[in-house]
Amino acid sequence: MAFGLLSRLFARRKLPAELRYEDARRVLESHHLAVKRELAGRDDAPPEALYYLACDDDLEVRSLVAGNPAAPMQANELLRTDVDGEVREELARKIGRLMPDLPSGELTTLQRRAVELLERLAEDELSRVRAIVAREVAHCPTIPRSLALRLARDVEIAVCGPMLQYSPLLSDEDLIEIVATTRVHGAVEAIAKRDGLGGDLTAAVAATLDVSAVAQLLANEKAEIREETLNKVIAQAAGIEVWHRPLVMRADLSVRAMRRIATFVSRSLIDELGRRHDLDDDTALWLKARAQASIEADDAGSEKPLTVEAMREAHKEGRLGDEMVTGAATLAHRQPVVTALSLLAGVPAHMVETVIDSRSGRGISALCWKAGLSMRTALAVQTHIAHVPTGNLVLPREGIDYPLKENEIRWHLQYFGIEAGGAQRGI
């Protein structure tokens, strides 16, 4: 009779709707793969059967047990050391989803074992396993604070990012320390997106001059940015276009800040400043005049295209300098910029190309220094011509000065085979 039941069971490859212990036992004894997989995914499977299947040779069977909420803790602990990362991923996803339901008080023995298991998964050698843990518990206030800190200090942005952006267990002091010490690209940007950033933390983020992070900070309406911090950002913002719109859109701008911003943003953003803020008549008129001056400057510029020949002609006439090079860089006109740097620095064009292609913010800054150009021009070349990664951009000190020491500049020039003599610019 049992043989006939098992034959019918395997013929249709489907377990009965109401699973009995005997049905599970027969499946285990049969070693029939398709029905074992079905049993591994059933939340009414006996705990003993799921523990047995946690040791199965088939990857899919073990993965199904790992994701099964009915699996006993002993099976979960066994699967935590599974040789296949896919199994540990499923386990991390399941255990992580249990955490928001933890009570804030005393834990049961089973709950403590679940937390300990999650802590072990947070140390997994595969970053994708750790990332699943982080995503599942990022908003959870009941996990151990030590676990939140471990994940927040992970070396992979996929792991630390969710914790830095969302975890309620991280204090401003924790986050300020991470801002000061992290080497993970994108970590400071994740912090800048948090709700309710305090003034000390926003000051720490702004002080990094991380272009993407500061852009996110400025766009974060719930971030408290002190006037002193905002003034320091504005002092650096002229050559960093991604900061312009979020600066204009800040609701907490002083009249002085708006006037400073209007000196370097586009005329459309000057108009936006006027529309967005309740201005006195004098400020409104001043902004209108700035917008008109911007239009006239654009019109004048359109009459004289910034071509290679224009650069050569300007150099002969002694007119070639920051304004023309910055203008060409902002328009992403690479060859005119290369020509201008070659002429001003007395360096062959192919060497200028080599420096630009290196995408080295320090190398490009050194070349612009040799050419006698300002640090703001160097930033424009880094950003629009060389497309230097944001984390490698060299930013002006106090908004205008070269942040590199002269011996460092000379070292970078020599690295590219360029003599340090030439026009140069004071530091």
Distance (Å, whole) CA 220 – CA 224? 9
Residue listed under structure tokens 């905002």: 230
pLDDT tens, the chain, 427 aa long: 444 444 454 444 578 888 888 888 888 888 789 999 999 999 999 999 999 999 999 999 999 999 999 999 999 999 999 999 999 999 999 999 988 777 777 778 888 899 999 999 999 999 999 999 999 999 999 899 999 999 999 999 999 999 999 999 999 999 999 999 988 989 999 999 999 999 999 999 998 888 889 999 999 999 999 999 999 898 888 778 889 999 999 988 888 888 888 888 887 888 888 888 877 767 667 766 766 665 555 544 444 567 888 999 999 999 999 989 988 888 888 899 999 999 999 999 999 999 999 999 999 999 999 999 999 899 989 988 998 887 788 888 766 789 999 999 999 999 999 987 655 655 5
> pLDDT tens, 55-76?
999 999 999 999 999 999 999 9
Q: What pTM, to 2 d.p., does this model score?
A: 0.69
For residue 308, give both structure tokens: 């290679």
Distance (Å, whole) CA 385 – CA 368? 13
For residue 373, give both structure tokens: 């150009």
Query: Which of 312, 421, 307 shows the shortest CA–CA distance to 370?
Result: 421
How far apart, in Å, are the Cα atoms of 214 and each of 209, 394, 395?
A: 7, 15, 13
Contact present, 369 and 421 (Cβ < 8 Å): no
What is the secondary structure of 330-343 as a DSSP string?
HTT-HHHHHHHHHH
> pLDDT tens, 111-158?
889 999 999 999 999 999 999 999 999 999 989 999 999 999 999 999
Burial class (CB in 10 A: 0-12, 13-18, 19+), 22: exposed
Residue 84 carries which side chain, given as an amino acid letter? D
Residue 181 contacts by C-beta under 8 Å, 6 or more apart in sequence?
Answer: none
Distance (Å, whole) CA 236 – CA 234? 5
The strand pairing partners of 208, in sequence order, are none
Q: Helix 109-121 crosses helix 145-152 at what angle (to 10 degrees)?
A: 10
Distance (Å, whole) CA 186 – CA 330? 25
Distance (Å, whole) CA 426 – CA 144? 54
For residue 90, the tally of other CB atoms under 10 A from its CB is 22
| Helix (H/G/I), strand (E/B), else coil: 322 | helix
For residue 178, give both structure tokens: 């991470």
Could you give the residue ranges of the DSSP H alpha helices within 267-360?
A: 267-276, 281-303, 308-316, 322-330, 334-345, 349-357
